[in-house]
Amino acid sequence: MNSSRTMAMDASTDPAVNEAVRNRTPVWRRRKTTYNYLALIPFVAFALFPLYIILITSIKSDQEIANLGQTPFWATGMTVDNYVYLAEKTAFFEDWLINTIIVSVASTVISVSIGILAAYALARLKFKGVEVFGIAVFVTYLVPQPLLFIPLIDVINFIDDIVPIRDTYWSLIITYPTFLTPFVIWLLLGYFKTIPVEVEECAYLDGCSRLGALRRVVLPMAMPGIICAVLFAFTLSWNEFLYSLVFIQAQEAKTIGVGVFTELIRGDVYYWGSLMAACFAGTIPIVVLYSFFMDYYVSGLTSGAIK
Amino acid sequence: MEAVERTRHDLIRPPARPVLRVLRKMAGPDIDGYGFIMPAAFIMIALVVYPFCLAVYFSLSDAFIGEESQFIGIENFEYIITEDDIFLITIRNTLLFAFFSVVFKIVLGMAAALLLLKALRLKKFLRGSLLIPFVAPTALTTLGWWLIFDPTYSHINWILENVWPFYALGIGPYHWLGDPDLALYTCIFVNIWRGLPFFIITILAGLVSIPEHLYEAADIDGATAWDKFWKIAVPLLRPILAIIILFSTIFTLADFNIVFVLTRGGPINSTHLFATYSYVTGISNHEIGLGAAISLFLFPILVMIVIGLLRLVRRDTSYEL
């Protein structure tokens, strides 16, 4: 099923083809296309609605938010006060953002490097037990986090007796690969299988070792897959919530999601402005990253399901 | 085909020393493979298999944070099934959650994918914005929904009270998250918002892969668009649909973030799923044993789904051959 990856790409990526299709399209069909676009508007509005509300609320002053008479969908005065508050009065940029970046980068590097090795073995090498390992990876991929968070506290305490990791971001760097690695392996396996064995054999003939062939030949050819794996691993660890909520209590060791949820929501009066500013500032890095590499996300999503 | 490649591969493999040759005969030609899978296998055993066994042990004990635990057999499970009303609500919620979210995601996902298929211009923008709910951090975007459903500031209630024709009808305002009968459906709504992109993009990929000539042949036979959808697109999409339904069911069953951020399982424990209930029991109330037992109920469901998935994958390959 090598074709599964190309399915994500349309026949119409070529602008010349699009042009030709458009010129040959009769008028009645063009009108139908307009309805088609109109029908998509509710879907796009639905998808972007909460992000829009988050953004618009984050640039309102507290008085404006409290004024229930005016429309909540628009901001009349614009202010950056909420973001200033976030920077000066909370640990958002100082600790939580930095922690999230460190944890995401570290667990991505760990799980992608481990995943490359394992996926390569699964795709190419023949040894006893390799099929069992493949099924085990698939099963671990499907084990949800809620099944593991309680016993993992014990595992972290056990490691903590040797090296202090409790209540630091190290406990997250260690545990995130548990759900990242199986996913990365699964994703890369498909990419590695599409690389012809012949290229690798040439590398062996030229005197490459196995690792050399992997590094010089296979990895460059599987680059799209690896970018895809890196993006997904990074996004998944950036968005992770449960482990971070359970394993971290110290304010300065928290990640964005948990920091915002546990430190900014206090008492009965919510400061919606700064809360939404935090939500926006925590979401926007991922959205920007995603907008640059959208095609990789799409191919990763579809190849994960269609295989 | 496979055999030919292997022999060529064997030819270029460096000659082995006798010990190595014996090992290869026992464990297969590529014994260095064990080295390649070692790190991943270590992580899986130390941080997935071992904790899983630990969870099973906890569930059979009266483990409580900070105290010595004792083996008590299946008492926890007995208690949960026979005496715990909240657990019954949790099961009911889980079924409702899985059912409604999958049905709506399939229907809406199919509709959006069919529309996207025809939208050649703005394709990147449209796909990009439709996918955002899936990549944005769930905990943070759910806080946005939390504001949208807040009793005082609710945007939905504002529309119901201030926009024609809604205020004329006199419906609302609703306590979207405060009403025990409504809160679960509000959570399901947010879950649909977050999971829909996956369905849209996957179904779209499936639709794109259907060869054009099938539709052309149907045109010649005088088929309507309706016929083409039900007789060509749906049957060919069936394997993909089955797989995304199973995937989505797993991740919906195990959902934690949305419910926890919106309601923390409340009001009056009416929105708990396995994950949130096990968190509240195991972490907030320190009853580790009970919490572990609750989350373990996910496991049999999971196993059934995995078996289903594996069978599907197998059937697919045999069909290919």
User: Which residues of A fall within a CB distance of 8 Å from B139?
Assistant: 239, 241, 257-258, 260-261
Nearest CA to B154 out of B133, B177, B171, B180 is that of B177
Percent of chain B past pLDDT 90, that is, above it, reads: 28
Q: Report the residue from B26, B121, B250 with minimal CB separation from A144.
A: B250
Domains and CATH numbers, chain B: 16-59 (no CATH), 78-320 (1.10.3720.10)
A257 interfaces chain B, CB cutoff of 8 Å? yes
Lowest pLDDT segment from B6-10, B41-45, B201-205, B256-260: B6-10
User: Which residues of B fall within a CB distance of 8 Å from A72?
Assistant: 153, 155, 158
A150 interfaces chain B, CB cutoff of 8 Å? yes
Report the gap between the CA of A132 and the closest CA in chain B (Å).
11
Q: Report the residue from A120, A135, A144 with minimal CB separation from B36.
A: A120
Q: What per-residue confidence (pLDDT) applies to A1?
A: 38
Percent of chain B past pLDDT 70, that is, above it, reads: 89
Interface mutation target, options B48, B155, B201, B280, chain A, most CBs of A under 10 Å: B48
| pLDDT > 60? residue B320 | no
- For B172, which DSSP code? -
Q: What per-residue confidence (pLDDT) applies to A22?
A: 63
Q: What per-residue confidence (pLDDT) applies to B238?
A: 83
**Contact assessment for residue A260 and residue A96, using Cβ atoms and an 8 Å cutoff:** yes
Inter-chain CB proximity B141 and A291 less than 8 Å: no
Inter-chain CB proximity B43 and A178 less than 8 Å: yes
Interface mutation target, options A35, A92, A127, chain B, most CBs of B under 10 Å: A127
A63 interfaces chain B, CB cutoff of 8 Å? no
B129-140 burial string, b = 16+ CB within 10 Å, else e?
bbbbbbbbbbbb
Q: What per-residue confidence (pLDDT) applies to B183?
A: 92
Interface mutation target, options B12, B42, B47, chain A, most CBs of A under 10 Å: B47
Report the gap between the CA of B216 and the closest CA in chain A (Å).
16
Name the residue in chain A with its Cα closest to that of B53: A151
One digit per residue, pLDDT tens: chain A, 307 residues? 344 444 444 445 666 766 666 666 666 666 777 888 889 999 999 999 999 999 999 998 888 888 777 888 888 888 888 899 889 888 889 899 999 999 999 999 999 999 999 999 998 888 888 889 998 888 888 788 888 998 999 899 889 899 888 889 999 999 999 999 998 998 898 888 888 888 888 888 888 888 888 888 888 888 888 999 999 999 999 999 999 999 999 989 999 999 999 888 876 667 888 899 999 999 999 999 998 888 888 887 776 554 4
Report the gap between the CA of B292 and the closest CA in chain A (Å).
7
Dump the DSSP string for chain A: -THHHHTTS-GGGSHHHHHHHHHH--HHHHHHHHHHHHHHHHHHHHHHHHHHHHHHHHTS-HHHHH-TTS-TT--SS---HHHHHHHHHSSIIIIIIHHHHHHHHHHHHHHHHHHHHHHHHHHH---TTHHHHHHHHHHHHHS-GGGTHHHHHHHHHHHHTTS--TTSTHHHHHHTHHHHHHHHHHHHHHHHHTS-HHHHHHHHHTT--HHHHIIIIIHHHTHHHHHHHHHHHHHHHHH--HHHHHH--SGGG--HHHHHHHHS--SSS--HHHHHHHHHHHHHHHHHHHHHSHHHHHHHHHHHH--
Give the integer Cα–Cα distance in Å for A2 and A303: 10
Q: Which of A122-126, B77-81, B312-316 has the highest mean pLDDT?
A: A122-126
User: Which residues of B fall within a CB distance of 8 Å from A73?
Assistant: 155
Task: Give φ, ψ of B115 to 5 degrees.
Answer: -65, -45
Cα separations (Å) of B274 from B61, B101, B282, B299? 19, 16, 12, 11
Inter-chain CB proximity A302 and B48 less than 8 Å: no
Interface mutation target, options B60, B97, B135, B202, chain A, most CBs of A under 10 Å: B135
pLDDT tens, residue by residue, B169-212? 777 788 888 888 899 999 999 999 999 999 999 999 889 888 88
Q: How many CB atoms lie within 10 A of CB A13?
A: 10
Q: Which amino acid is at B136?
A: A
Q: Report the residue from B137, B150, B193 with minimal CB separation from A238.
A: B137
Q: Average pLDDT over chain B, rounded to whole?
A: 83
User: Which residues of B fall within a CB distance of 8 Å from A301?
Assistant: 131, 134, 198, 201-202
Report the gap between the CA of B85 and the closest CA in chain A (Å).
21
User: Which residues of A fall within a CB distance of 8 Å from B120?
Assistant: 12, 18, 21-22
Interface mutation target, options A23, A29, A34, A43, chain B, most CBs of B under 10 Å: A43
Nearest CA to A178 out of B271, B302, B40, B37 is that of B40
User: Which residues of A fall within a CB distance of 8 Å from B200?
Assistant: 43
Residues of chain A with CATH 1.10.3720.10: 81-306
User: Which residues of A fall within a CB distance of 8 Å from B197?
Assistant: 47
Which residues lie below 8 Å from residue A137, measured CB to CB, with a gap of 6+?
Answer: A118, A122, A182, A185, A186, B40, B44
| pLDDT > 60? residue B1 | no
Q: Report the residue from A181, A238, A305 with minimal CB separation from B202.
A: A305
Task: Give φ, ψ of A206 to 5 degrees.
Answer: -80, 5
The fold of the A81-306 domain, in CATH, is MetI-like fold (1.10.3720)
User: Which residues of B fall within a CB distance of 8 Å from A261?
Assistant: 139, 143, 261
The tokens describing B33, both together, are 């493979």
Inter-chain CB proximity B32 and A210 less than 8 Å: yes
Q: What per-residue confidence (pLDDT) applies to A3?
A: 42
Report the gap between the CA of A230 and the closest CA in chain B (Å).
14
pLDDT tens, residue by residue, B93-125? 998 998 899 999 999 999 999 999 888 788 888
Inter-chain CB proximity B43 and A201 less than 8 Å: no
Q: Report the residue from B48, B261, B313 with minimal CB separation from A143.
A: B48
pLDDT tens, residue by residue, B222-252? 888 888 888 888 888 888 888 888 888 888 8
Q: What per-residue confidence (pLDDT) applies to A307?
A: 41
Inter-chain CB proximity B43 and A46 less than 8 Å: no
